[in-house]
């Protein structure tokens, strides 16, 4: 049985651990064997820490490191992956950058400390674009991560390695980050579930942008119940992050178990024409959104007015790049990839008035979203405007027949929601004619993760798509554009 343990869901494995029917070391060895089997095809987990994982497993089995046993989100010895933007003590952590190719941190990021305290076992670091900048997962340190549904295609970014590690059964849960869609886009491309939580729900720890709500940490999983379990692991007040707040009294896992459907669901394919989208993706997502009717929801076509939020996002994103990368740009410009240079220099060239305009635009959009949610309980959009593209490209060459102006131009479907601070989850909804995964983005009310996860869980049950994972990597070709 040990060789097949990787097929279990996280909830199933955690239940068996609690019953002592399997051990943490059983899962670690099953995960290690699976990693060895699939990594040559996908390159999702370039840095392994197997001896460290085995030591943690043995400690749990000896009754040590179990102080949080019984708390919500207790994992009991589940193998997980940690994005290579996030420090793990004693484990090579490169941030996908040649500048940090040999970096080994002495202390783990607060989110890793929290995950390990609650029984998560770190197996490996998952691949990411350099400093998480990009919608396709590749860097000069470790190369490209490939989509297991078709290894000729990208897995998306920037939590691409995490998504692939889940889809192939290398680990049971994956930690990631999301700025402009980095948990949602790879979730869509790999047919897994990725949640961007409300800012403050999960600690961001030691980042320089501590008071900005744009970037968040969050969970990724193969199913909504698994994801709810991992959100329980992550959520809560952290002294290192001034935006964090207490975890809810009712766990997210319990909320999912007691799921009730939303009453009114709004669907938009393109935010009233403000976002380019491929025709097939639009049609598939529109049909998929109607499946909410099967669980008792009223589904209507409606969209909030997003105004110029795409430009406002670029302004504020670029300002965050100045905070994060200005000093590195000055010292090592030739060693940074072009996308990072572009974002940072764009920020350095902005006027205070332009930044003030973006803040006003964001505030106005948030107020419109609050008003929108007075009518609707859930907003549904495509998870991405196009299906997975050639793994050798930085971004799709065009969307809906329109060429992209920059590498972020295809992210509006996700980045617009980032600007609202509302929680959003990517859930699988089917496959296109070429067999590529297609997903929906479900957006909840501010700090409304519990209701959002309930809606996602009921939708997932209706589709049955979670049962198709994990998979063996599949070779393929890049589909010819219509």
Residue 35 pLDDT > 70, yes or no? yes
Q: Is 274 a catalytic residue?
A: no
pTM of the model: 0.98
Question: CA 447, CA 369: separation in Å to the nearest integer?
Answer: 13
Q: Is 184 exposed, middle or buried (0-12, 13-18, 19+ CB in 10 A)?
A: buried
Res. 481 pLDDT band, cuts 50 70 90: confident
Asked if omega into 158 is within 30° of 0 (cis), the reply is: yes
Residue with tokens 């939590």: 159
**Does an H or E element contain 220, and which?**
strand 216-221
Q: Residue 307: how many CB atoms within 10 A of its CB?
A: 16
Q: How far apart are CA 195 and CA 200, in angstroms?
A: 14
Pick the catalytic residue from 31, 108, 136, 158: 158
Residue 1 has pLDDT above 60, yes or no: no
72-124 confidence digits (pLDDT tens): 999 999 999 999 999 999 999 999 999 999 999 999 999 999 999 999 999 99
477 lies in some domain:
no
* Residue 400 counted as domain residue: yes
Q: What is the pLDDT of residue 397?
A: 87
With contact defined as beta carbons under 8 Å apart, do 341 and 329 qualify?
yes
Region of residue 77 (phi > 0: left; psi between -120 and 50: alpha; otherwise: beta): left
Q: Flag whether 32 is in a domain.
A: yes
Is position 482 within any domain? no
- Which whole-number Å values give the CA distances from 283 to 186, 190, 191, 363, 415, in the listed order? 20, 19, 18, 32, 21
**CATH code assigned at 322:** 3.90.1300.10
Which residues partner with 325 through β-bridges? Answer: none
Give the pair of three-digit tokens for residue 87. 């420090």
Domain assignment present for residue 170? The answer is yes
Predicted confidence band of residue 129 (pLDDT cuts 50, 70, 90): very high
- Note the pLDDT tens digit of each residue in 341-392: 999 999 999 999 999 999 999 999 999 999 999 999 999 999 999 999 999 9
Mean pLDDT, the chain, integer: 97
Distance between CA 172 and CA 160 in Å, rounded? 15
- Residue 2's pLDDT band, with cuts at 50, 70 and 90, is low
Angle at 68 between CA 426 and CA 228, to 5 degrees: 15
Domain carrying residue 121: 2-468
Q: How confident is the model at residue 25 (pLDDT cuts 50, 70, 90)?
A: very high
Tally of CB atoms within 10 A around 363: 12
Q: How many CB atoms lie within 10 A of CB 477?
A: 11
Told to judge if 182 belongs to the known catalytic residues of this protein, a careful annotator would answer yes
**Confidence class for position 323, pLDDT limits 50, 70, 90:** very high
Residue 52 CB neighbours (<10 A): 16
CA-CA distance, 289 to 377, in Å (whole number)?
14
Q: Is 421 a catalytic residue?
A: no
Tell me if 480 is assigned to some domain: no
Q: pLDDT class for 407, splitting at 50, 70, 90?
A: confident
Q: What share of the chain has pLDDT > 90, as a percent?
A: 96
pLDDT at position 406? 83
**Choice among 9, 23, 83, 415 that is catalytic:** 83
Give 289-313 pLDDT, tens digit per residue.
999 999 999 999 999 999 999 999 9
Please check whether residue 366 lies inside any domain of the structure. yes
Of 360, 381, 369, 382, the closest CA to residue 311 belongs to 360
CB under 8 Å to 463, separation ≥6 — which residues?
288, 291, 428, 429, 430
What pLDDT is recorded for position 22?
Answer: 97
Q: Tell me whether residue 51 is in a domain.
A: yes
Each residue's pLDDT tens digit, 209-241 = 999 999 999 999 999 999 999 999 999 999 999
3-state secondary structure of 99: helix
Total domains in the chain come to: 1
Alpha-carbon span 394 to 189, nearest angstrom:
15
- Name the active-site residue from 31, 81, 108, 182: 182
């Amino acid at each position: 049985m040990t060789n097949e343990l990787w097929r279990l869901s996280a909830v199933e494995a955690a239940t068996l651990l609690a019953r002592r029917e399997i051990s943490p070391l059983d899962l670690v060895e099953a995960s290690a064997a699976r990693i060895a089997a699939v990594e040559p095809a996908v390159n999702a987990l370039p840095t392994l820490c197997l001896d460290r994982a085995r030591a943690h497993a043995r400690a749990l089995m000896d009754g040590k490191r179990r102080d949080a046993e019984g708390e919500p989100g207790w994992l009991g010895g589940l193998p997980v992956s940690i994005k290579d933007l996030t420090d793990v003590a004693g484990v090579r952590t490169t941030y996908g950058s040649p500048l940090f190719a040999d970096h080994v941190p002495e202390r783990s990021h607060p989110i890793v400390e929290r995950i390990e305290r609650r029984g998560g076992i770190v197996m490996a670091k998952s691949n990411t674009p350099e400093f998480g900048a990009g919608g396709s997962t590749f860097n000069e340190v470790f190369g490209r991560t490939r989509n297991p549904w078709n290894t000729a295609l990208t897995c998306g970014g920037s939590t691409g390695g995490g998504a692939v590690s889940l889809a192939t059964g290398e680990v049971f849960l994956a930690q990631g980050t999301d700025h402009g869609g980095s948990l949602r886009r790879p979730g869509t491309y790999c047919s897994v579930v990725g949640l961007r939580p409300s800012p403050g729900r999960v600690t961001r720890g030691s980042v320089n942008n501590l008071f900005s709500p744009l970037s968040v940490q969050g969970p990724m999983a193969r199913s909504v119940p698994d994801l709810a379990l991992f959100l329980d692991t992550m959520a809560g007040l952290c002294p290192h992050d001034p935006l964090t707040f207490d975890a809810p009294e009712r766990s997210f896992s319990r909320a999912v178990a007691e799921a009730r459907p939303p009453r009114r669901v709004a669907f938009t394919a393109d935010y009233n024409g403000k976002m380019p989208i491929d025709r097939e993706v639009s049609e598939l997502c529109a049909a998929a959104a109607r499946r909410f009717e099967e669980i008792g929801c009223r589904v209507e076509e409606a969209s909030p007015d997003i105004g110029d939020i795409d430009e406002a996002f670029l302004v504020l994103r670029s300002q965050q790049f100045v905070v994060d990368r200005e000093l590195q740009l000055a010292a090592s410009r030739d060693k940074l990839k072009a996308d990072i240079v572009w974002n940072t220099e764009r920020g350095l060239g902005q006027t205070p008035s332009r930044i003030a305009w973006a803040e006003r635009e964001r505030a106005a959009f948030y107020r419109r979203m609050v008003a929108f949610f007075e009518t609707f309980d859930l907003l549904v959009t495509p998870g991405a405007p196009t299906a997975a593209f050639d793994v050798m490209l930085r971004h799709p060459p065009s969307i809906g027949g329109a060429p992209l102006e920059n590498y972020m131009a295809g992210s509006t479907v996700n980045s617009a929601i980032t600007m609202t601070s509302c929680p959003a989850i990517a859930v699988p909804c089917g496959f296109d004619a070429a067999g590529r995964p297609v997903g929906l983005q479900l957006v909840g009310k501010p700090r409304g993760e519990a209701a959002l996860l309930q809606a996602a869980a009921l939708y997932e049950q209706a589709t049955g798509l979670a049962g198709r994972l994990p998979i063996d990597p599949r070779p393929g070709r890049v589909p010819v554009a219509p």
